[in-house]
Structure 1
Amino acid sequence: MRRRRTATIAVASVLGMTATLGGCGLTGSSDEVTLKLVAADYGDSSANSSRKYWDKLVKEYEAAHEGVKVDVSVYSWNDVDRKVKDMVAAGDPPDMAQIGAYADYAAKGLLYSADDVLSIPVQGDLVYQLAAAGQVQGVQYGIPFAASTRVLFYNKTLFAKAGIDAPKTWNELAADAQALKAEGVKYPYALPLGPEEAQAETMQWLLSGGGGYTGTTGAYAIDSAENVDTFTWLKDDLVGKGLTGPVAPGRLNRAAAFSAFANGEVGMLNGHPSLMKMAESKGVKFGTVAMPGAEGPSRTSMGVADWMMAFKKNGHAKEIGDFLDFVYSEKNVLGFSREYDLLPVTTSASETMSTAEEDADLKPFLDELPVSELYPVGQTSWAEVSVDIKRRIGQAVSPNGSPTGTLNQIQATASSAQSAE
């Protein structure tokens, strides 16, 4: 999913290009503060780059806050996490970073807590399960910035041609896929378990089978009986029957699956809000429903959040907090969410979006947010576990693969990584 400023502004914005930022500190007159922010780019072109969002927001903020300057650098998602990591390693972290993960920095004691910087009204307005996912050992360090959920997309034209309805159960999904295959659909169900984002597709299926990555204690439970049953069904009843298309799931990436859906080649797949514009731009008529489960619609959806964090190195907790309170105002949260088809991370903006006619296309995703579960991002081990899932999970549904064996291997990695935290 996944994407701030203060009083008199100079914005340094870099789109996927290399840039080196100095640390925060006092610049100009002795009472002027410059805050550095590194942010991710949610746009897909220069026309809708996040740079434009931040330029406008910072200009408005600075006009009302004399003596504070916010210097923002925007990087592509391919680069932004690495840029921040390099800055921290060099001893020169930004004041704020809006990136994909926070737990490593929190575990090293580098971050302000949300209590340190956010006002009580703003902190209380954060959507509960998103704020909870930002905690490490009961203290919130990750401040959710953008969120999305997943639903099942289906091609209405292909479904009408095959004479089928949107599925509610796994068996109905398999039957629909059989009907679509009989009509010559290239990908009856697109199952992207390739290395780009396999952890997302995997989690959605695990949740729909009553499992997940962790158990009730927070320990990894990747090889649970429920998870093994889920991947056994996928291997035998979907992949093994040729219902996932010509590309092996372990080699199919999300971007390729989304592109194929937008080209009218996919009957069904799990998708997030950005797929809507892709499909609409190609004239694909689509519908969305909750992810089917073993016995009925899944009771839990997968949620994804990107994070804002504040580094302690340069101080400026008061100025950071004042700026973030502005960033998280209802107006600004709604503006960002609407620009990039993402879900708001505050209750006030969510309530507005849930009833606004202009946001009707996002309502199916918004409805899933209260019953969503996020990656275990509060665990520093998650980065290593996620990489292992991307590397191995496709083997579980390959012709000679073993769901039990593959999940056991991933669980071993997860248990080792968790014990090292």
Structure 2
Amino acid sequence: MNKLTKRVSAAIGSLALVSGALIAAAPANANTITIKVMTPNYTDAMPAYYEDLNKRFMAANPTIKVEHENLSWDDILVKGRTLISTKSYPDVLNLNTFSEFAAEGLLYKTSDLFSEAKLSDFVTAFRDNSKYNGVEYAVPDLASARMFFINKAVFYGAGNTKIPTTWAEVTAAAKKIKAKYGSKVYPLAIPLGSEEAQAEFQIWAGGNGGRYFDEKNSKWVINSKANLKTMNKLRSWVKAGYTQPNPASTNRTDAFKLFSQGRVGMINASVFFPSTLKDYKSKVDYGVAPFPSASKSKKPITLGVQDYFMGFKKPGNQDAVSKYLNFLFEGKNYAGFLKAAGGFIPATKSASSEVDSSLLPFIDQLPNAIFYPGTLGSWGAVVAKITTQIGTGITKDPKAVLDSLQKTAVAA
């Protein structure tokens, strides 16, 4: 769930955190343990947050030293996918998948790290999505939901009167926007580049009843009729000139920037998008609504996404890992984490009672949320392929692309 960042600032932040950690740590002695923490750079505020958190943690726990890597999402995803093969595990990892590590027996159970009283504060639905084979091996750090955003000036200026609730209404609205603004505005942004193509496709497919995995029958369904129909609908919008050029190579960051500049009429976006628009100093007046489904007979959905903190089992590190994670989830520390991360849905019940009002429409959609099959041990390998390949269904034979991904998933 990569909040928009700059790789350079993430790298600088990483170096600052590591050097700060070493300087602030207590003098080494026989009882000192060093733990390595690896996290994604949700926003450019994260390095300063962790630098302060780590200093205070080490001051309160002088026998524990923290070495911290705060990486860009591009870098941590690449590194995260090689941890098993390289066996270079951190002690604490914050990532968007956990089950592949749990499947290898590498993680502590959360009950080994937190008291039941502490665990009970995490939102139940998020806890359920942190289980592998029915056992919790990770805790959620934050969550996101998706809604349909419109540029009010563009949308209503083209003669549209209500936000679309179906694909047919999306088509009609896009047609009006194109007729009004021509090449100056892209009616609909569909980013299927490798940054987060799996999310863009899933939310459109979800509104048509499509999924990546059939939980009821325990089987992969990437090449289902519903998913193929969804891909063909996206292709039809591209062919009609209703989208930005080259959707298959357009990343979410690129699409968000286009919207912020007033060059996109409609877009799928996450709960943090309002704060992103503020970061861009955008003047676009936007509206939000539930995501349009394939037809009036299809239930509207949102895509629920969560990231995780997990602790890797290493000789003698359990107490230090437990102390670090419990320190991070203390009230004020976790509030600081959420603020630095920028506009996500809290993962704890206590923090959820004090959210910004802009998050409420997204929280209201959570009962309609569908989730990735993140509890499957093979999900990490499968989503890596989906992210880089599913966008090619726009320019290549869509059935062949989905069939190939299905074959990969079944074999994983």
Shorter-chain TM-score tier: 0.7 to 0.9
Distance 2:229 2:204 in 1: 11
171, 175, 178: which one aligns with 2:172: 175
Secondary structure of 1:352 counterpart: coil
Q: Which amino acid aligns with 1:415?
A: V
Partner Cα distance (2:383, 2:400) in 1: 17
Q: Deviations over 1:153-198 (max 9, x none)?
A: 1101112211212111211111111111111152101111223321
Tell me how many residue pairs correspond in the alignment: 392
Deviation at residue 38 of structure 1 after TM alignment:
1.8
What residue is the counterpart of 1:267 in the other structure? 265
Task: Report the equivalent of 2:368.
Answer: 371
Which deviations, in whole Å up to 9, do the C-alpha atoms of 1:40-72 show, x marking residues without a partner? Answer: 22223xxx2x12112222344445445444333
Tell me how far 1:240 sits from its aligned partner.
3.2
Q: Does 1:381 align with 2:383?
A: no
Q: Matches of 1:312 and 1:166 in 2, distance apart?
A: 49
Q: CA 1:282/1:96 → structure 2, altered by over 3 Å: closer, same or farther?
A: same
The answer as to 2:69 corresponding to 1:73 is yes
Within 2, Cα distance between the matches of 1:326 and 1:308?
13
Q: How does 1:96-111 map to 2 (within 5 A)?
A: 96-111=92-107
Question: 1:299: how far off?
Answer: 3.4
Residue 275 of structure 2 is aligned to residue 277 of structure 1? yes
Name structure 1 gaps, 5 residues minimum: 4-12, 354-358
Asked if 1:305 corresponds to 2:302, the answer is: no
User: What is the SS of the residue equivalent to 1:183?
Assistant: helix
Classify 1:170/1:90 alpha carbon distance in 2 versus 1 (closer, same or farther; 3 Å). closer
Stretches of structure 2 lacking an aligned partner (at least 5 in a row)? 4-10
Q: Is residue 117 from structure 1 mapped to residue 117 from structure 2 by the alignment?
A: no
For the residue of structure 2 that corresponds to 1:35, the secondary structure is strand
| Partner Cα separation in structure 1 for residue 365 and residue 335 of structure 2 | 18
1:38 equivalenced with 2:38 (yes/no): yes
TM-score, reference length from structure 1: 0.84
Q: Distance in 2 between matches of 1:263 and 1:211?
A: 32
Q: Provide the TM-score with structure 2 as the length reference.
A: 0.85
Match of 2:49 in 1: 53
Partner of 1:10: none
* Residue 406 (structure 1) aligns with: 401
Match of 2:163 in 1: 166
Q: Cα–Cα, structure 1 residues 62 and 254, in superposed 2: closer, same or farther, change >3 Å?
A: same
Partner-residue secondary structure (3-state), 1:125:
coil
Correspondence for 1:258: 256
Within the alignment, does 1:416 sit opposite 2:408 as a pair? no
Q: How far apart are residue 87 of structure 1 and its match?
A: 6.6
User: Cα–Cα, structure 1 residues 188 and 87, in superposed 2: closer, same or farther, change >3 Å?
Assistant: closer
Q: Which residue of 2 aligns with 1:8?
A: none
Counterpart residue identity of residue 348, structure 2: T
- Give the equivalent residue in structure 2 for 1:345: 347
Match of 2:220, SS state, is coil
Q: Matched residue of 2:235: which SS?
A: helix
Matches of 2:397 and 2:374, distance apart in 1? 27
CA contact (8 A) 2:192 2:247 kept: yes
- Mark the CA change 1:133 to 1:28 in structure 2 (over 3 Å): closer, same or farther: same
* Partners of 1:228 and 1:253 in 2: CA distance: 22
Kindly state the Cα deviation for residue 83 of structure 1 after the two structures are TM-superposed. Answer: 4.5
Asked if the contact 2:188/2:264 (under 8 Å) is kept, the reply is yes
Percent identity over paired residues: 33
Q: Which residue of 2 aligns with 1:356?
A: none
In structure 1, what is the Cα distance between the partners aligned to 2:142 and 2:328?
Answer: 12
> Which residue number in structure 1 is paired with residue 7 of structure 2?
none
2:13 aligned with 1:15 = yes
Give SS of 2:140's match: strand
Quote the Cα distance in structure 1 between the aligned partners of 2:52 and 2:32: 21
Contact 1:333 1:346 in 2 (8 A): no
> How many angstroms apart in 2 are the aligned matches of 1:203 and 1:71?
36
Change (3 A) 1:152 1:241: same
Query: Counterpart in 2 of 1:325?
Result: 326
Matched, 1:212 2:211: yes
Q: CA RMSD in A?
A: 2.9
Note if contact 1:27-1:34 (Cα within 8 Å) is conserved in structure 2: no
On the 8 A contact 2:155/2:265 being kept in 1, the answer is yes
Alignment-mate amino acid for residue 72 of structure 2: S
Q: Distance in 2 between the 1:264 and 1:103 partners?
A: 40
Please state whether the residue corresponding to 2:337 is helix, strand or coil.
helix
Moved more, 132-141 or 206-215: 132-141
Instruction: State how far apart, in whole Å, the 1-side matches of 2:87 and 2:221 are.
Output: 37
Residue 183 of structure 2 is aligned to residue 201 of structure 1: no
Q: Report if aligned partners of 1:117, 1:317 keep a CA contact under 8 Å in 2.
A: yes
Shift of 1:14: 5.4
Change (3 A) 1:388 1:39: closer
